[in-house]
Structure 1
Amino acid sequence: MSPYRIATIDGDGIGPEVCQSAARILSEACGSALLDFVRCDGGAAHYARTGQVLPDDTFALCRDSAAILHGAAGLPGVTYPDGTEVGNDLHLQLRFRLDLYANVRPVRLWQGVKSPLAGWQAGQIDYVIVRENTEGLYASRGGGINLRGEVATDTIVVTRKGVERVARFSFGLSRKRQGAPRDGKRRVTVCDKANILRSYAFFRAVCEEVAREHEDVEIDYAYADAMTVHLVKRPDFYDVIVAENMFGDIISDLGAATIGGMGLSPSAELGEHHGLFQGAHGSAPDIAGQNLASPLATILSGTLMLHWLSERHGDERLAVAARRIETAVGEVLAHGDAVPRDLGGTASCTEVTEAVLRRMARALD
């Protein structure tokens, strides 16, 4: 079998450090012949040099590869004339052009990591937030109106097709999981503002229709403002949460804060035929090039990539490799082998990478 080609965009800031760390670990777990990482250009720095954030050849490679692994993008002061950030446009273009409609953000408290929420232990916080990724308020990107510098408007867009497919994705995902930590129930929580806005009432109604096709999975509801309370007070109640684009964006970062921060927050952006995988953190240009960044979010995003590829291609080798990496990361965190700065330690990007590799090698021995 030919190797799986992975379009690899290092990006800006700490992106090259964390992306190359993840690629090294993924290669070790899978064997050198299984994955073929092909580096390609893109990001804010590339835009500053060439005027293109996503070059045509990079897009073609991403479109035609098995998956996309991305580090991070964005630099201070590198903006478009309308003031929006250039860096974000890299994955936004890929998201919309490749129709990556489901943004998957696992929220898991690992053993050895102290939650900012007092008293919560590993295993008690373990849910997934699924954002509808191509519609909602962010569909106005580049299309909003700024009238004479006096009035600015953006429009939320919610379609039946968009909600149906992300709802089906969410119910299907719940079926693959073990249920909520509190009671073991498979549950999809719809996060919206259906009590105020018709667009969100429509979102909820379509989710209810899809729920009737999945009677083995419970449906639950929470308004977005109440959800910010629930994720702090009772995170163990949740299994899968589905939300419109902007609300999903906001509560995903809140969820990440409860399990140690963005440095432990992987993400996958999935469509029918393509997948983009990156840590949910930013490019952190203030520590770029200093070997200070934690690569764990990007490494864990890589395991999401392997699971996705395994399911798509029926290749169990990829799933085995993903579980091997996850076990090694868990052991590094549980035993404090290399604690990165964002978790209160001093370990460098290189030291965290080496610690994961040692745990992987020890497991084989």
Structure 2
Amino acid sequence: MNATKAGLRLGVIDGDGIGPEVVAATRAVVDEAIGAAGSAPVEWVPLLIGHDAIAAYGNPLPEQTLVALEDLDAWILGPHDNASYPSDMRVAPGGTIRKRLELYANIRPAAAFTGVRAMAPEIDLVIVRENSEGFYADRNMFAGSGEFRPTEDVAMAVAVITRQACERIAHQALRLARGRRKHVTVVHKANVLPMTTGLFRDVCYEVAAQYPDVTVDDEHVDAMAALLVRAPERFDVIVTENLFGDILSDLAGELSGSLGLAASLNCSDTRAMAQAVHGAAPGLAGHNRANPAALQLSSAMLLRWLAVRDNDRILHDAADRVTRAVTATLAAGIATADLGGLASTSEFTEQVRARVHRR
């Protein structure tokens, strides 16, 4: 149970590559913000995935980790490098965790930061990506991967779109829009895939009838990609299926400045996982050069999700402190090398920690 008076109990998973560095930097900032907000210290529950888990258990995503996560409401996940796992262990831990624990919503904001050069400085939107099915073969089947080869020269994949999944992701997007600029854009490809993405579009409109204060429109995914480049300021909340959401959110992240700043939250109605959009960057591991900002901003999303769920003003304050501190640090021209700055991972983190206490 998460209880502010008794202290939050959060899972923490280092992952691979730069994971241990950015996770440690994120823990430090969360601890600082929680203390500054007046809460008891966080109880961190360390768990293993990736190469550390292979060394300990012979499995990059051991059952022990999944069982432990089922006892937690929230956790931070570092990046993983499943491409470097042994060939018989190429599981993607993040996707498996999302499927096992039914984290059906992937919420990815994209907004430009003062002090960071952005291709689209006016961008300020959130992509709400359906996380459990669609065209991603690892998540759309009860058993099996969803991909198959009837002959040596033919490969096929199955896409799954269900009314239940469309309804719940539409509610997520529409509720989020109510707290922003009250505009949702449904992204689909119903002109070519009318039964699958057409169902997604139609169900989103059906759910939208329950939110008369929110304006809802729709775009084809190819047109949406062009419009994000041409006029990103037109959009507030974008809701779409799994594959489309993955692609569009990476595009939006680059338009807003860098994937090194791209935060995300994976959640259900009862659990949430903070996970930066970027990968493990194994070439940077151990050099104190990684950018921790995306995971720090993801942790702020996690704290805010808990604050909303539990109606907890202290956690709202802690989330705001993390977001403001990272934003102010970047605005002061302090950044890691990927953003053209000179700060190391630890130096950037110390600057953020100092600003956590500022109003």
DSSP-derived class of the 1:226 partner? helix
**Deviations along 1:79-108, whole A, 9 cap, x unmatched?**
544xx943xx21111101111010000101
Aligned residue for 1:216, secondary structure, equals coil
Note if 1:190 corresponds to 2:207. no
1:305 is aligned to 2:302: yes
2:165 to 162, 167, 171: 162
Indicate if the aligned counterparts of 2:95 and 2:138 stay in contact, CA closer than 8 A.
no
Q: Following the alignment from structure 2 to structure 1, what is the Cα–Cα distance between the partners of residues 245 and 133?
A: 12
Taking the aligned partners of 1:272 and 1:98, their CA distance within structure 2 comes to 11
Query: How many angstroms does 1:273 deviate by?
Result: 1.3
1:65 partnered with 2:61: no
Partner of 1:153: 156
Equivalent of 1:143 in 142, 146, 150: 146
Equivalence for 1:20: 24
When structure 1 is superposed on structure 2, of 320-329 and 161-170 the one drifting more is 320-329
TM-score normalised per structure 2: 0.92
The equivalent residue for 1:125 is 123
1:211 counterpart = 2:218:
no
What are structure 2's unaligned runs of at least 5 residues?
Answer: 140-144
1:317 aligns with 2:324: no
CA distance in 2 between partners of 1:281 and 1:98 (Å): 22
Deviation, structure 1 residue 330: 1.4
What amino acid is the match of 1:126? D
Q: Aligned partners of 2:215, 2:55: CA distance in 1, in Å?
A: 49
Could you list the per-position Cα deviations for residues 167-224 of structure 1 after superposition, in whole angstroms to 9, with x for gaps in the alignment? 01100110011x1xxxxxx111011101111211111111111111111101111111
Counterparts of 2:28 and 2:138, CA distance in 1: 38
In the other structure, the counterpart of 1:234 is 231
1:77 to 66, 77, 84: 84
Number of equivalenced pairs: 346
Distance 1:74 1:48 in 2: 15
**Superposed displacement of residue 360, structure 1:** 2.1
Check conservation: 1:6, 1:35, Cα contact below 8 A.
yes
Q: Which amino acid aligns with 1:56?
A: E
1:354 to 342, 350, 353: 350
Which letter does structure 1 place at the counterpart of 2:66? F
Q: What SS does the corresponding residue of 2:84 show, helix, strand or coil?
A: coil
CA positional deviation for 1:112: 1.2
Residue number among 286, 293, 305 corresponding to 1:296 in the alignment: 293
SS in 1 for 2:275: strand
The aligned counterpart of 2:280 is 283
**Corresponding residue for 2:58?**
51
1:272, CA displacement in angstroms? 1.7
Q: Distance in 2 between matches of 1:103 and 1:54?
A: 21
User: Aligned AA for 2:22?
Assistant: V
Report the alpha carbon displacement of residue 61 of structure 1 after superposing the two structures with TM.
1.9
Q: Please state whether the residue corresponding to 1:11 is helix, strand or coil.
A: coil
Contact 1:191/1:222 (8 A) holds in 2: yes
SS at match of 1:266: coil
Q: Secondary structure at the match of 1:137?
A: coil
- Confirm or deny: 8 A CA contact 1:339 1:347 kept in the other structure: yes
Deviation at 1:75, TM superposition (A): 4.9
- Alpha-carbon distance in 1 for matches of 2:347, 2:84: 31
* One-letter identity of the residue aligned with 1:74: D
Aligned-pair distance for 1:77?
3.2
Identical pairs, percent:
41
TM-score by length of 1: 0.91
Alpha-carbon distance between aligned partners in 1 of 2:87 and 2:55, rounded to the nearest angstrom: 10
Q: For residue 129 of structure 2, what is the amino acid of its counterpart?
A: R
In structure 2, do the counterparts of structure 1 residues 208 and 308 end up closer, same or farther at CA, with 3 Å as the change threshold?
A: same
Indicate the RMSD between aligned Cα atoms, in angstroms.
Answer: 1.6
Matches of 1:150 and 1:140, distance apart in 2:
21
Query: Quick one: distance in 1 between partners of 2:148 and 2:71?
Result: 35
TM-superposed deviation, 1:66: 2.6
Q: Secondary structure at the match of 1:54?
A: coil
Cα distance in structure 2, aligned partners of 1:269 and 1:174: 17
1:100 aligns with 2:103: yes
Residue 207 of structure 2 aligns to a residue whose secondary structure is: helix
Judge conservation of contact 1:130–1:242 (CA < 8 Å) in 2.
Answer: yes
SS at match of 2:6: coil
Alignment CA distance shift 1:76-1:90 (3 Å): closer
Contact 2:28-2:353 within 8 A present in 1 as well? no
State the 1:33 CA deviation: 2.2
CA distance 1:257–1:85, shift in 2 (3 Å): farther
The equivalent residue for 1:244 is: 241
1: distance between equivalents of 2:55 and 2:148?
26
With 6-15 and 52-61 compared, the bigger mean Cα shift is at 52-61
- 1:243 shift after superposition: 0.6
2:208–2:216: 8 Å Cα contact kept in structure 1? yes
Q: Secondary structure at the match of 1:289?
A: coil
Deviation at 1:35, TM superposition (A): 1.7
